Amino acid sequence: MQLIRNSGGPGARAAGRRSDTPSAVPRLLPSNPQADDRPHAASFANDAGDSRLAALRRTVARLETGWLGAPPPPLSLDLPDIHRHLPDAGLAGGALHEVSAAAYGDIAASFGFTAALMACATRARRGPALLVVSRRGTDVGSPYGHGLRRLGLDVGRLLLVETRTGKDALWAMEEILRADAGAAVVAGISETPLDLTMSRRLNLAASAAGTPLLLLRPPAATGLSAATTRWRIATAPAGRDRFEAFAGWRWRVALERCRNGRAGQWTVEWDHVAHRFRLAEVVADRAVPAGTGRARHRRAV
């Protein structure tokens, strides 16, 4: 409690600096299944310590983003298992989040994951959803209305912005965030390599607007960036119902980097009917054919 009270007072800056250490943890490589047995993970069993640490993290996050009033509500994924790795109960409301595909063949999966996040955002927030697509950015087709609707996205609120180059796409994203357009969510596909300066600009614009910005990057994208979270998406065999029909798309989702959070890896399923995420193993255990999904991707949580 002492620390929390300190954070509001004149020593706030110092408190923020001192607690940089937890935020350095997620900059490690993505955790392997065994990595969760770290000593600090054990402390989560302690409820009091958990809430205290969570409050401390929120304070640090507030100091870092510079919110004067209440920060925008986080974008909930309805997945407590993933939320435990994030500083809030969901993706930060005003921040840049990067999504990239694990390989060329996973681009469609990463697009689907982004569209699913957009669907979550349009349900929780008011205003239009904007999707900026660089014409050179994708060669795997263009967004299709009926398919996006199947994923739960309100296509009537979707605005597509098509740009000729990836640089224009980055400009358009920043312009949208800087404008007082009241967007629910902004997503972008750009093939231009993102440098630290540009990503910081985008992150600042998103935080000033209080709008989540989802940036879909090409599979080979590397390099530093100021993104709050970075997700790497790979395909996984789809969930099936008891008639062996497709019941939900599944993705192997790796949280590679998260400011004030921890890395992690999950297999996530997108429910076709309820339009929400769920962890694949819990619900559709039966349908996964032996030797495909489970053997290769052990549960990470």
Partner 1 sequence: MAPGTGGARLVALNDAAWRSGLAVGDLLSNARSKVLGLQSREADPAADDAALHRLTLWCLRYTPVVAPWDAANGADGLFLDITGCAHLFGGEEKLLADLATRLRHFGLCPRLAIADTAGAAWAIARHGDVDNAIVPPGVQQDALRDLPLAALRLSASAQEILCRLGFRRIGELMRQPRAPLVARFGASLLERLDQALGREPEPLSPQEPPPCYRAQAAFVEPITTQAHVVEAATRLLCELTPALMRAAAGVRVLRLLLFRPDGEVLPLQIGLAAPSRNIPHIARLIAMKLDRLPAGLQAEFGFEAAALHVLAAEPIRERQAALGIDGGEADSGEPAGLAPLIDRLEQRLGAGAVRRLHARQSHIPERAVAARPAADEPASDWRIETPFGIRPPLLLPRPEEAADIMAMVPEGPPRRFRWRGALHDVAHAEGPERIAPEWWHPGQDAPERDYYVVEDTGGRRFWLYRAGRYRPGHAVPRWFVHGLFP
Candidates 15, 238, 280, 288: give the one binding partner 1 (CB under 8 A): 238
Residue type, 132: V
Would you say 2 or 142 has its CB closer to partner 1? 142
Residues 233, 76: Cα–Cα separation, whole Å:
18
Pairing of strands 213-217, 229-240: unpaired
If one asks whether residue 180 binds partner 1 (CB under 8 A), the answer comes out as yes
If one asks whether residue 162 binds partner 1 (CB under 8 A), the answer comes out as yes
Candidates 143, 193, 281, 301: give the one binding partner 1 (CB under 8 A): 143
How many residues line the site for partner 1 (CB under 8 A)?
60
The secondary structure element, H or E, covering residue 300 is: none
The secondary structure element, H or E, covering residue 185 is: strand 185-189
What is the b/e burial string over 231-245, where b = at least 16 CB atoms within 10 angstroms of the residue's CB? bbbbbbbbbbeeeee
If one asks whether residue 152 binds partner 1 (CB under 8 A), the answer comes out as no
Beta-carbon contacts of residue 64 (< 8 Å; ≥ 6 apart): 16, 259, 260
Closest approach, Cβ 280 to partner 1, in A, equals 11
**Residues 93 to 112: which contact partner 1 by CB under 8 A?**
105-106, 108-109, 111-112
Residues 44, 40: Cα–Cα separation, whole Å:
7
**Residues 256 to 275: which contact partner 1 by CB under 8 A?**
270
Candidates 127, 193, 200, 294: give the one binding partner 1 (CB under 8 A): 127
If one asks whether residue 146 binds partner 1 (CB under 8 A), the answer comes out as yes
Integer CA distances (angstroms), 189 to 20, 80, 101, 168, 270, in order:
31, 28, 12, 11, 21
Candidates 4, 42, 160, 282: give the one binding partner 1 (CB under 8 A): 160
If one asks whether residue 286 binds partner 1 (CB under 8 A), the answer comes out as no
**Interacting residues toward partner 1 by CB under 8 A:** 105-106, 108-109, 111-113, 115-116, 126-128, 138, 140-151, 154-164, 168, 171-172, 175-176, 179-183, 234-238, 240, 244-246, 249-251, 270, 292
